[in-house]
A and B are shown apart, each in its own frame.
Chain A
């Protein structure tokens, strides 16, 4: 469904590439996590799939088409086949839940009757039955993200891209969102989710693609957030973390200083 062939993306000649010779294939119906630190190239990956940016070299195929060869007036058609969800939901604040979801259908010219039939169905899928007439500010973060997901999938795209969809949500709400994404994936939609949320990745046990400095350093099926095979940088970080967790020798003074350290 998504195939990257030796893709390199350079934003600035003087800085290392955002993606460096990445080759990757995500099959139809797959659920894949993209993990890695900020700046590792996750967002660039998603932008290239959407043809928001053009690869400096290499080829990006989406649904069998080389996106570089799609003429600009056909880009909308490409994007109709891709749903996108963001960390900040991006709902329209002056429209209610129904109108927010319906907006995605209106702008591509769906008829009123199709919209009336489809939107409630999709809202049911994401678990927002009966909240059609609420305004976004009346909803919790999790509910808002469900609206955003409903909007992303209402036109039945083959691919759903999620850029840290749980970044603003607490763990319990996040698991609810993951349930929704999993359900959508079960219905046959390819889901690619960029995330920092290790709990979620560990819970879901799906394919994990780890990026670091624009390079794929790990691609495992049914994997965890951190590799089970230790890598050099990773193990040092773990060691550092465990070192901090060691109980301080003794005394209230020491505790004070460690608190100060944390504040810093």
Chain B
């Protein structure tokens, strides 16, 4: 009974205050979309880092069947050549610059590739044979990349030596800057949302002061009097958060999935499904912001 009563109170509150409620929904929607956009950029950075990025800096790709590089003229790398490279890596001249190194076989390379490009159509057309095996090197000082490059580029059986970190670092710093901007805009918008929710709840409390006055007099508990107002704000904010989550999903699905991944097939993009892990965070963030700001407002404007 009491639940039904509270629900009907919420319904009438939302109806009476419709324009304010819509504005709360829109403001939380926009602010949380920016929060979510920052989150998506971080997810995308993680996706592009792939399996090796945080573990190693330099990759020595070995010649395989399809290699066209000059160093691979004699065909795929032989086991002796590979053994030589390993010995060289362990020799004191090189070992002083590196922490450790790992060998990635074609099969392992295929597995990591599949993980990274799981959302891309390219994955279906690639077989383990097409991927080069590699030595992955964790440098003591990433700046010393040149030494490794010079030592190994000319070795037989080496296709190329790549400092992956250097390639991606600039892109990532741009993306980090973008997510910082998104977070700043989100911060301002969240302040707007909080103030707007407070004003809405205040208006709502004012327009229903007759009811609340009577409720007080006949001995309704604080919960029964305040809960409809708080839930009103929370519901509006949660709708906004749901819209924001939907927008992020749509961006991932239509923009990244259908457009960008076709334009840049060799880049790993996040899947629409991955953006959904942001949704619960946005819903909780929106709901708790609204809950707290309405509670504080009611404390001042609704006597119980």
Contacts from A to B (Cβ < 8 Å): 50, 73, 76-84, 90, 92, 103-104, 106-112, 151-152, 155
Q: A90-B210, A92-B211 are in contact. Are A108 and B222 (CB under 8 A)?
A: no
Known: A80-B218, A106-B2, A109-B5. 11 other contacts (CB 8 A): A73-B221, A79-B219, A83-B218, A92-B210, A92-B211, A103-B214, A103-B218, A104-B218, A107-B215, A110-B1, A152-B218
- B211 contacts across to A, CB distance below 8 A: 92, 103
CA distance A131 to B172 in the complex (A): 74
Residue of A nearest to B12 (CB): A94
CB <8 Å contact, B214 and A76: no
- A104 contacts across to B, CB distance below 8 A: 214, 218
B224 within 8 Å of A (CB atoms): yes
CB <8 Å contact, B214 and A106: no
Which residues of B214-233 are within 8 A (CB) of A?
Answer: 214-222, 224-225
CB <8 Å contact, B1 and A92: no
CB <8 Å contact, B210 and A107: no
Name 10 interchain pairs, CB-CB below 8 A, sorted by A: A79-B218, A80-B218, A90-B214, A107-B5, A107-B224, A107-B225, A108-B220, A108-B221, A151-B214, A151-B218
Contacts from B to A (Cβ < 8 Å): 1-2, 5, 210-211, 213-222, 224-225
CA distance A86 to B220 in the complex (A): 18
CB <8 Å contact, A76 and B222: yes
Q: A92-B210, A92-B211, A103-B214 are in contact. Are A76 and B221 (CB under 8 A)?
A: yes
CB <8 Å contact, A80 and B1: no
CA distance A82 to B219 in the complex (A): 9
The 8 closest A-B pairs by CB, nearest first: A80-B219, A107-B220, A79-B219, A109-B2, A104-B218, A76-B219, A107-B215, A106-B5
CB <8 Å contact, B219 and A77: yes
Contact among B1, B213, B217, B221 with A106 in the assembled complex (CB-CB below 8 Å): B1
- B218 contacts across to A, CB distance below 8 A: 79-80, 83, 103-104, 107-108, 151-152, 155
Q: A73-B222, A76-B222, A107-B224 are in contact. Are A112 and B1 (CB under 8 A)?
A: yes
Q: How far is the CB of A46 from chain B (nearest CB, A)?
A: 11
Q: How far is the CB of B206 from chain A (nearest CB, A)?
A: 16
CA distance A109 to B211 in the complex (A): 15
- A111 contacts across to B, CB distance below 8 A: 1
- A80 contacts across to B, CB distance below 8 A: 218-219
- A84 contacts across to B, CB distance below 8 A: 217
Residue of B nearest to A78 (CB): B219
CA distance A92 to B214 in the complex (A): 9
CB <8 Å contact, A109 and B1: yes
CA distance A207 to B179 in the complex (A): 76
CB <8 Å contact, B217 and A108: no
Q: A92-B214, A104-B214, A107-B224 are in contact. Are A155 and B219 (CB under 8 A)?
A: yes
CA distance A83 to B214 in the complex (A): 11
Q: How far is the CB of B59 from chain A (nearest CB, A)?
A: 66
Residue of B nearest to A161 (CB): B217
CB <8 Å contact, B220 and A90: no
- B2 contacts across to A, CB distance below 8 A: 106, 109
CA distance A111 to B225 in the complex (A): 18
Q: How far is the CB of B53 from chain A (nearest CB, A)?
A: 56
- B210 contacts across to A, CB distance below 8 A: 90, 92
- A76 contacts across to B, CB distance below 8 A: 219-222
CA distance A10 to B219 in the complex (A): 26
Q: How far is the CB of A104 from chain B (nearest CB, A)?
A: 4
- A83 contacts across to B, CB distance below 8 A: 218
Q: How far is the CB of A116 from chain B (nearest CB, A)?
A: 12
Residue of A nearest to B208 (CB): A92
Q: How far is the CB of B302 from chain A (nearest CB, A)?
A: 14
Q: How far is the CB of A61 from chain B (nearest CB, A)?
A: 18
CB <8 Å contact, A79 and B216: yes
Residue of A nearest to B210 (CB): A92
CA distance A110 to B224 in the complex (A): 13
- A152 contacts across to B, CB distance below 8 A: 218
CA distance A73 to B1 in the complex (A): 21
- B222 contacts across to A, CB distance below 8 A: 73, 76
- A108 contacts across to B, CB distance below 8 A: 218-221, 224
CA distance A84 to B215 in the complex (A): 12
CA distance A88 to B177 in the complex (A): 62
Residue of B nearest to A154 (CB): B218
CA distance A112 to B5 in the complex (A): 10
CA distance A116 to B53 in the complex (A): 71
Residue of A nearest to B211 (CB): A92
Q: How far is the CB of A147 from chain B (nearest CB, A)?
A: 12
